[in-house]
Amino acid sequence: MFSPEGPTLLELTVQAMSSTERGYDLLAPKFDRTPFRTPDRVLDAFAAVVEPLGPFVRGLDVCTGTGAGAGVLRRLGAGEVVGVDFSAGMLAEARAAYADAGAPPTRWVRADTLALPFAPAFDLAVSFGAFGHFLPAERPALFAQVFRSLRPGGYFAFPIPAPPPVGSRGYWALWGFDAVMRVRNALWRPRFVMYYRTFRLPDVRADLERAGFTVATAALEELGRRPDGSPRARAVLARRP
Ligand SMILES: C[S@@+](CC[C@H](N)C(=O)[O-])C[C@H]1O[C@@H](n2cnc3c(N)ncnc32)[C@H](O)[C@@H]1O
């Protein structure tokens, strides 16, 4: 699947029938050869929007995987970078990928994002490509955990794509994927939580505000605009007052 070096269909199936954590442990060695790794053009567009909010001293990449967001934090000039994820396999890949990256050293912490083990010290927390792994009911706890890991004035920033127009191919593809996952999770344990259509900006904004954040958004102009003129993706910039 995806490329000759990427996971096979059989491997992806075995991963999808595992728990979320175990699935990522299995996928880890080939993760960077899948489209699930956040593409560099998204990371670049995001970094361009977030950079003016700096300088940043301490950065946290939430659900870091193989470290895509940790790389952004380093580029934004953070002197201390921490990547947190619950998959030991993904963290091992991140550690190997950044072994030669020089200063600042990146610290890789294995923890569940719903129980982050940090003092309120970070200026900037980022997260890429992971919110589909949290049920809407878990969002208040997730946002509360990030909130209490930030220093006052710190930002929680992440990209969010515009939903595909209702009835488009993209719309039906995501709808179909979520439907298959719902059936899978109704019939099979352990659950693999991954849904594309549950992380909608109006709900997310309301949950962030309930967690205490002040929320702004900014278009990721480098990713272009849709035919109706709206941005293809935005950065959510949530600030701990
Ligand atoms: C699609 S990958 C994204 C990785 C990386 N951020 C990127 O953009 O390439 C999702 C990551 O979220 C992690 N994850 C999912 N749920 C988690 C949780 N509750 N606590 C910590 N990590 C979690 C997975 O282990 C996986 O590494």
Give the pLDDT confidence of 58-105 residue by residue, as tens digits.
999 999 999 999 999 999 999 999 999 999 999 999 999 998 777 678
5-47 pLDDT, tens digit each: 889 999 998 898 999 999 999 999 999 999 999 999 999 999 9
In a domain, residue 169? The reply is no
Structure tokens at 91: 């963290």
In a domain, residue 5? The reply is no
Q: Calculate the alpha carbon distances from 133 to 43, 203, 225 in Å.
A: 20, 16, 27
pTM of the model: 0.97
* pLDDT of 100: 79
Query: Which CATH number do you get for residue 110?
Result: 3.40.50.150
How many whole angstroms separate alpha carbon 107 and alpha carbon 73?
12
In a domain, residue 15? The reply is no
Which residues have C-beta within 8 Å of that of residue 1, sequence separation ≥ 6? Answer: 7, 8, 9, 12, 34
In a domain, residue 2? The reply is no
Q: Is 40 in the pocket of ligand 1 (CB under 6 A)?
A: no
In a domain, residue 8? The reply is no
Structural domain boundaries, residue 217: 37-163+200-239
18 CB-side CA count, 13 A? 15
Q: Is the pLDDT of residue 172 over 80?
A: yes
In a domain, residue 193? The reply is no
**What mean pLDDT comes out for the span 102-117?**
91
**Residue 21 belongs to what H/E stretch?**
helix 20-27
Q: Is 65 in the pocket of ligand 1 (CB under 6 A)?
A: yes
Nearest CA to ligand 1 atom 15: 133
Structural domain count of the chain: 1
Mutate to test the pocket of ligand 1, among 2, 20, 24, 63 (most ligand atoms within 8 A of CB): 63
Q: Is 46 in the pocket of ligand 1 (CB under 6 A)?
A: no
Nearest CA to 236 out of 48, 49, 58 is that of 49
